[in-house]
Structure 1
Amino acid sequence: MDSSPTPANAAIAQGVTAPQHGPRPLLLFLNILWRETESDPELRRRALGGLRRYQDAGRPTPPPPAPCFAAAGRARLLHYGSGNDRAPVVFVPSLINPPAVLDLSESRSMLRHIAAAGHDAYLVDWGSPDPTDAGLGLAGHVADRLMPLLATLPRPPILVGYCLGGSLVLGAAALRACPAVATIAAPWRFGAYSAADRDMIAKLWKDARPICERLGYVPMEVLQSGFWAMDPERTIRKYAAFADAEAGSDAERAFMAVEDWANGGAPLTYAAGRDLFEDFYGSDVTGRTVWRIGGVTVDPSRLSCPTLSIVSTSDRIVPAAAGPALGQEHSLSLGHVGMMVGGRACEALWNPLSLWLSSHGG
């Protein structure tokens, strides 16, 4: 019998345990770490040190939550700023991971920055699905959650969607006219993903689907494992770099906040996961313009309002070519999460977006 230690057992022998903080799933992370550092013992040592530091570090008090303006099922509409004579601006995050990436901390919050610039800003919090939501697909999240929230506002809002939230706001705009629509790193043309990525995602879903169907939801760990598989080297090297971060620095706090966000979040409903993996990634229903919501075909080219697609040439999660073809395109060179909360996010994204919103009544 082979008595050599497994990656997980070897890591535990070196003092890596699993306290309350991630990464999740830890065993998969350790296996990736072991594989990526097989020929580099120093990188392995630093990555394990960064992992230990991340797990054991104290956390600062998060910013106070914004007040709830309206609710629809488990979803809530949070209000930032105050009402004015401008059109409301509703930010729609992905269903994957919490909405906190748009309000990460006092110094790294797109929503608070946008509100401080005078916009009447709102943020959708999708909440955590309950067992009765298992059949709520992506179209259902638009029709039965997002549209009722938007209907509570005194006037039609400008819609801004991040990641999968961008795909969903294009669906909402097809159902109800709005003053303008902007998407940020939104996947739409799934045929633009590499064949290797699509094959990897297809295998992930094939393996996970039976248990997800029985559970009625898709655990966050399934989605996280897919993100890690897209760029395993970066996944490990960022922990190695964190081992050297200055204690008490903004970089240290930012790393922990982003990783806590990435390792948290509610599961997807089973139907939403099936739609995402089979219809979006598998069949590219959006890119082929055959996605329908309540009998309405979602075709961004038919929207009569101003539209903006913000993409990044260095986004590994949503390649620039996978974004929707809208009226305007603004290209960045920042990571999928870095464009929202990184050190250059304010100058590269927040301020240009604020100016665009102002130019269209928001």
Structure 2
Amino acid sequence: MPLFLGVLRSETAASPERMARALAGLRAYQAAPREKRAAPKPAVYQSGRVALRDYGGEGRPVVFVPSLINPPDILDHSPGSSLVQWTAAQGFHAWLVDWGSPGSEDRDLDLAAHVERLLVPLLQALPEPPVLVGYCLGGTLALGAAAVTPAAGVATIAAPWHFDGYGEGRPALAATWATVKSAAALLGLLPMEVLQAGFWQLDPARTIAKYETFADMPLDSDAARAFVRLEDWANSGAPLPYAAAASLFEACIADDLPGKGGWLIGGTPVDPLALPCPAVEFVSLSDRIVPAATAIGFADRRDLGAGHVGMIVGRSARPRLWEPLANWIAALD
């Protein structure tokens, strides 16, 4: 809350009316009724705190790799907007990686270790090499996994690779990390709220405007329920181990090691353009969280006119993303 209020003050300092509306929207969001969430799918395979959840279906295994930031259920958001459930009904066996909740004992697990020690053992437990579908930072991790273990294909969705593409956003993210680094080192963890505040700085106007808009929504409307469900997802999530946070802010955002060819998994440099399997990337042209300038550079690139989250769960997600993705996977045969 203090972090949000700081953004609110800076964005509405010249407009008390806007501040009042945004606060009214925030109060309405806090008081809104919540829908009961479905129980998680069975965790068939485990690798430390990380689980591979089985969504059923027949055919080629497709493993969805979510970001470490925010819960994985954005890929299984609701019965009508679940990319994973829909994929399982298209002739594939769908799986979802659940990164679990790290503790201070995980402080030394950087991004490469998440791939090598947690993700790769799960993939190797499957009866055949899967297609990897990575969303956001999960796409970056999926590329790392495909460089060191067999995969039938890799599809990334809004995945950053050339982190220098953050451009003018890099100083704000660097400042966030500089402010919290010492405390994170003491805890061994970086709380999700700090990450959220850092990414708010990439588009603070939108952060406030959406609460202004929510102030006028009837709480029993479909739009209000969708807003609450999405904001609950965006405002929740496990912390990052200290080493993972350091490699994200320093090795990736500050130094762009992946984009420069310097990111190693088990001593192997990760070069997405040299992967021994087919690959495709879906890129949002209006994404503020993962700008299009951070894209990988695959020959097969699909540009979408939807935002970072809207491309996954928005009203046009199925024709714009879900169906092209399923068609690409089916064509691998």
Report the TM range for the smaller structure's normalisation: over 0.9
The equivalent of 2:207 in structure 1 is: 235
Cα deviation for residue 249 of structure 1 reads 2.2
Contact 1:93–1:99 (CA under 8 A) maintained in structure 2: yes
Q: Distance in 1 between matches of 2:12 and 2:112?
A: 42
Say if 2:111 is the partner of 1:107.
Answer: no
The equivalent of 2:190 in structure 1 is: 218
Unaligned runs of 5+ in 2: none
Q: Distance in 1 between matches of 2:205 and 2:54?
A: 38
The equivalent of 1:339 in structure 2 is: 311
The equivalent of 1:180 in structure 2 is: 153
Instruction: Report the aligned-residue RMSD.
Output: 1.2
SS at match of 1:193: helix
Cα deviation for residue 238 of structure 1 reads 0.3
Contact 2:202–2:289 (CA under 8 A) maintained in structure 1: yes
Cα deviation for residue 69 of structure 1 reads 1.4
Q: Distance in 2 between matches of 1:232 and 1:191?
A: 20
- Structure with the greater alpha carbon radius of gyration: 1
The share of aligned pairs that are identical, in percent, is 51
Cα deviation for residue 46 of structure 1 reads 2.1
The equivalent of 1:47 in structure 2 is: 22
Contact 1:80–1:120 (CA under 8 A) maintained in structure 2: yes
Cα deviation for residue 35 of structure 1 reads 2.6
- CA deviation string 1:166-221 (max 9, x = no partner): 00010000001211100000010012221x21111111111111110111011112
Q: Distance in 2 between matches of 1:333 and 1:203?
A: 30
The equivalent of 1:133 in structure 2 is: 106
Contact 1:136–1:271 (CA under 8 A) maintained in structure 2: yes
TM-score by length of 2: 0.97
Q: 1:250-265 maps to which residues of 2 (within 5 A)?
A: 250-265=222-237
Q: Distance in 1 between matches of 2:6 and 2:178?
A: 21
The equivalent of 2:61 in structure 1 is: 88
Contact 2:281–2:298 (CA under 8 A) maintained in structure 1: yes
The equivalent of 2:36 in structure 1 is: 61
Letter in 2 for 1:298: V
Contact 1:75–1:124 (CA under 8 A) maintained in structure 2: yes
Q: Distance in 2 between matches of 1:344 and 1:64?
A: 26
Q: Distance in 2 between matches of 1:28 and 1:133?
A: 26
TM-score by length of 1: 0.89
Q: Distance in 2 between matches of 1:250 and 1:335?
A: 20
The equivalent of 1:247 in structure 2 is: 219
The equivalent of 1:198 in structure 2 is: 170
Say if 2:247 is the partner of 1:272.
Answer: no
Say if 2:44 is the partner of 1:72.
Answer: no
SS at match of 1:96: coil
Q: Distance in 2 between matches of 1:244 and 1:117?
A: 39
Number of matched pairs: 333
Contact 2:103–2:189 (CA under 8 A) maintained in structure 1: no
